[in-house]
Structure 1
Amino acid sequence: MPLKPVPRPGKPARSGAGLPSRRHRLFLVALLGASFLGGLLLTPTAGAAAGSGDSGGRGEGALQRQLQELVTTPGGPPGVIVVMKRDGAPRILRAGVADLETGRPIEPTDHMRIASTSKAFSGAVALRLVADGALRLDSTIGRILPQLPRAWRSVTLRQLLNHTSGLPDYTEDPAFAELLVSDPRHTFDPRRLLDFVADEPLRFRPGTQYRYSNSDNIAVALMAEAVTRTPYEELLREIVYRPLGLRDTSLPLDHRLPEPYMHGYAVEPPEPPEDVSELISASGVWASGGIVSTPRDMTRFVRAYAAGRLTSPAVLREQRRWVEGASEPAGPGHNKAGLAIFRYETRCGVVLGHTGNFPGYTQLIAATPDGRKSLTFSLTTQVNKTLNPDLLEQLRTIQENAVCALLDAATEGSPARRS
């Protein structure tokens, strides 16, 4: 049942073309700074039951109240939608609105920027190619992409997928930042994004540390293109979209979003929320964060991806070799990193998935290891440790309670199967 929109103060400002305002510049600088935080390991959410309703925040009723509280929190999202699927029809919980001007509620068919959950898609492509023998997990940059710097030549596909490569993050490069801040809709050549850091050495010896880097998944997509001689966008269609029936998922290279879409906002009280849905060209993040999808499509994707339906049992076992490391932003509970997937161990059980954040949007997709129970959790503002650490901790608490609501209803309170 659709919920009544929660009133928000002020009329949202619309972002326009041309040079960004001072507020946009500060906002983009904060965005770029967030990439430095990806390597932090976060422990299970402290005080998960605090302020989260009865029964420790468990159950759909308590979760619905928490979503309502979230959209009225200062700096919180104008809208949020959670899609939980077990057997049968999905359960949809939502609060706030998809568009502050019209007041319409968010629908599971609304388009949105999925941010770094796009990395799971590049993982799906690469792991399918591994299962088919076109790539190996120990394939190196030097062998597959000899045009990239010699200093990176020993980095393997496995290390790219679990963020232990040591590749410098191109989104931290001053030249990239300057282009983005001066012209957010600048069209980058996605296959040249690594040029921004081509003169830099590795941050550490490959395989010795974990550090989340947006460069990793750009290199993964380039490797997939090199061995198949097929554009990455077509590989996505052949390997992921068509087999899973993802009809509303795409990888654009411009700033536009297809209708209908949930509007994303910069929320900085006391200023009114500002619509930043189409502020930035997706070309600057490409395989690392540029995909556009819907909650309905993401539900289909994560159920198949977590269960390994797009690859082989042998490759799935390799994907689930966990190392200490958190997604960005951190997901619920204790985070560990696999190959383009994360393990979220909550107080109620384990789910596998990915998170992401982008101007106007924050995402979590997760499913049980068998793919039978899943949730997508989408916000219409960006939340990370740089922009609003307190709100991030509140969000992680609610996300953990969402996992508990999913697993409790599915298993009558017993923990999810470990993997």
Structure 2
Amino acid sequence: MQRRQFIHLSSLAAGAALLPGCAAISSLTTGPLIDRHVPKDYSGVVAVRKDARSTLVTHASGLALREEKQLVTKDTRFLIGSITKWISAVTVLRLVDMGKLDLDAPIGRHLPELPAANGAVTLRHLMSNRSGIPNGLAEALRKDRAVEKLEIGPVEAALRFGAGAPGAAPGERWDYSFTNWVLVAAVVERATKKTFTEVVEELVLAPAGVRDTSFAATGYEDEVGMAVAYGATGERKSPAVPPMVAASGTLYSTARDLVAIADSVYFTKLLSDKARKELSTVVVASEDYALGGKVKTVTTKKGARSLAWEAGAIGGYKSLLVYDPLEGRAVVLLNNTDMQQSEQARIATALFSSFDE
């Protein structure tokens, strides 16, 4: 099987410098910490860092492409699923800082074609999954799987799938719906007059200096450097990546890049203090959910820590970024064998807490 040469969309970021004190990123020999907590049959990448001044230690194991026995390396790219939502939220908050968007303004300002009740919801409602707008895209997919092959953008998809009569008042009910994020992307496109993917590249990925993070397109499995996802019985389990759901879950990345993005969010002036607070404030307590991702409290021997807890599942790809905004402690797990997210969470918690033992 011949794989196509990888073409990266973030060429404008290729020369960007990493944060001072965080440039020493390498795949050091696997230490006892990872050996102790990560299963020997793990397929993917595990990375740990004690704090923002320390080296990111990266361990790669398993196969990126089973058919040709291509090994996973520290630079292998994985789809990161709903971690994309967190990066989308950072993008929106940058636009809020710039005065181009308002978290609490009706989205009908930008999408006047929507029914009045739908246009009355806000970005805050959408990004905390409490809009009350039904998941029209999911319903359409249940009726016809061919919908996932539609090559339409967020605005067209928002008007087609986000116009259903609300089932609850805005802010009243939690619903983890990717139609919410189709609407978010549509608002961004209308406000900036650019594609959503271009805005993410410009406002988040380029400033973070990442080189191996961008949006997957049809045929991504065949790109050199990309892991292929597999199910429990060995079958390929790589999902479709229609452009209309870009804000919800079609980014790919590496462990190194995910930590670099988090460093940029929490240790540079990428976001204002107010925007970082919005990103870190839980809105739905029962779900530990803030805007675009979770904030969890983990108790270690040195006390409780409030962590950015960004998990993703798409097809057979499972991913998790756990990051301490105060110290820069980080744990990343990327997997291409459809492992249980609860098992990833267990491993990440053990790795994170081990530094305090």
TM-score, normalization: structure 2? 0.81
Residues of 1 paired with 2:99 and 2:338: CA distance?
38
Alpha-carbon shift at residue 246 of structure 1 (Å): 1.5
Separation in 1, partners of 2:113, 2:151: 23
Closer, same or farther in 2 for the Cα pair 1:88/1:317, shift >3 Å? Answer: closer
Q: How far apart in 1 are the matches of 2:325 and 2:62?
A: 31
CA contact (8 A) 1:302 1:353 kept: no
Among 397, 403, 415, the residue aligned to 2:352: 403
Q: 2:86 touches 2:292 (CA, 8 Å); kept in 1?
A: yes
Counterparts of 2:147 and 2:184, CA distance in 1: 27
1:226 is paired with a residue whose SS is helix
- Listed as ranges, the gaps of 5+ residues in structure 1 are 1-13, 15-58, 72-78, 327-334, 384-390, 414-419
Q: Is 1:153 equivalent to 2:124 in the alignment?
A: no
Runs of 4+ in 1 over 6 A off after TM superposition: none
Per the alignment, residue 311 of structure 2 pairs with: 355
Change (3 A) 1:382 1:186: farther
Root-mean-square deviation (Å): 2.6
Partner residue in 2 for 1:416: none
Residue number in structure 1 paired with 2:27: none
Q: Distance in 2 between matches of 1:371 and 1:197?
A: 41
Given candidates 54, 79, 98, the residue that maps to 1:88 is 54
CA separation of 1:371 and 1:106: change in aligned 2, threshold 3 A: farther
Deviation string for 1:4-26 (max 9, x for gaps)?
Answer: xxxxxxxxxx9xxxxxxxxxxxx
d(CA) in 2 for partners of 1:108 and 1:122?
A: 25
| 2:168 equivalent among 190, 200, 204 | 204
Q: Distance in 2 between matches of 1:89 and 1:307?
A: 16
Q: 2:224 aligns with which of 245, 248, 259?
A: 259
Superposed displacement of residue 126, structure 1 = 0.6
1:136–1:255 CA distance, 2 compared to 1 (3 A): same
**What is the CA deviation profile of residues 109-128 of structure 1, one whole-angstrom value per residue up to 9, with x for unaligned ones?**
11211111111121111100
Question: 2: distance between equivalents of 1:259 and 1:312?
Answer: 37
Q: 1:73-222, aligned counterparts within 5 Å? A: 79-85=43-49, 86=51, 87-173=53-139, 175-180=140-145, 182=146, 185-222=149-186
One of 297, 300, 309 as aligned partner of 2:260: 300
- The yes-or-no answer on 1:346 pairing with 2:298 is yes
Aligned mate of 2:197, from 219, 233, 240 = 233
Corresponding residue number in structure 2 for 1:243: 207
The whole-number CA distance in structure 2 between the counterparts of 1:210 and 1:307 is 31
Is the CA contact 1:306–1:371 (under 8 Å) kept in the aligned structure 2?
no
- The offset of 1:306, in angstroms, is 4.5
Q: Percent identity?
A: 23
- Mapped to 2, the partners of 1:132 and 1:190 lie a distance apart of 22
**Aligned with 2:257: secondary structure?**
helix
Give the Å deviation of 1:283: 2.8
Gaps of 5+ in 2: 2-29
What is the TM-score of this pair, normalised by structure 1?
0.70
The worse-fitting range, judged by mean Cα deviation, of 362-371 and 87-96 is 87-96
